Structure 1
């Protein structure tokens, strides 16, 4: 059985955020999960810079890496899962995990990136709590 899949419906059906930004770091695609995770509507996000979700203290490093990737056409992260802080619309800091891929135009020049992002804030907090409990138990057992 052959099925025709509507790309917009697919992007809005998945639980992970899908964000695409152009070579100037302007957001050109923002799915429903991105709105749920980061708190910005699609209308607020589209056309905005990625700084919208990059915490202030990570911006310089992010911007330098992004520019370098656009110039070289290469991301040093490839298919690696990146774990970094991100910023919610309300100003709170999230812990996210994501993969990123380079996008190219017809002349094979880098023209943007696509990222698939998962909110790991609760899981990271649980992990920290468990590690602290283990450390407390081990120090009490000595």
Structure 2
């Protein structure tokens, strides 16, 4: 016997940020994990565009791809894990990893995109520090 899943409870409980934006790119869902990750309350985020978290230098490319996806119903990313820079309310740079999925109306029209996002800033910084250390050690080894 299966019971119905309370999707609102699920979205609120998960540790990853879940953000849904409509066909125009306006935020329609912003879960508590998104609020913790990016520093914007649900009230501050809902109805705003994804520019809240997209670094200014990347916005043009983001919106070109977003509008193309809405027009064609195709995304290049499917189930791939994407790693990109983001920014929080305080202007702090983040490294995020996320997956996206298209949302459809009962008639099959695209109504928006859901993104499930994880903050990988600490892991990214550790990886960068390790790569730098490896390079330093290789240089020392070559000089010996």
Q: Aligned-pair distance for 1:6? A: 2.0
Q: Aligned-pair distance for 1:64? A: 0.4
- SS of residue matched to 1:40: coil
Q: What's the counterpart of residue 116 of structure 1? A: 116
Moved more, 3-12 or 104-113: 3-12
- Give 1:103-142 correspondences, 5 Å limit: 103-142=103-142
2:86 pairs with 1:86: yes
Q: What's the counterpart of residue 31 of structure 1? A: 31
Rounded to whole Å, the distance in 1 between the matches of 2:85 and 2:11 is 23
- SS of residue matched to 1:101: strand
Stretches of structure 1 lacking an aligned partner (at least 5 in a row): none
Q: What's the counterpart of residue 47 of structure 1? A: 47
2:99 pairs with 1:95: no
2:66 pairs with 1:62: no
Q: Aligned-pair distance for 1:4? A: 4.1
Rounded to whole Å, the distance in 1 between the matches of 2:78 and 2:28 is 21
- SS of residue matched to 1:37: helix
- SS of residue matched to 2:112: strand
Rounded to whole Å, the distance in 1 between the matches of 2:5 and 2:53 is 30
Rounded to whole Å, the distance in 1 between the matches of 2:53 and 2:70 is 19
Rounded to whole Å, the distance in 2 between the matches of 1:78 and 1:4 is 27
CA RMSD of aligned residues (A): 1.0
Q: What's the counterpart of residue 16 of structure 2? A: 16
The superposition leaves residues 7-46 of structure 1 with CA deviations (integer Å, 9 ceiling, x where unpaired) of: 2221111110000000000000010100010000011011
Q: TM-score, normalised by structure 1?
A: 0.96
Q: TM-score, normalised by structure 2?
A: 0.95
Rounded to whole Å, the distance in 1 between the matches of 2:111 and 2:72 is 11
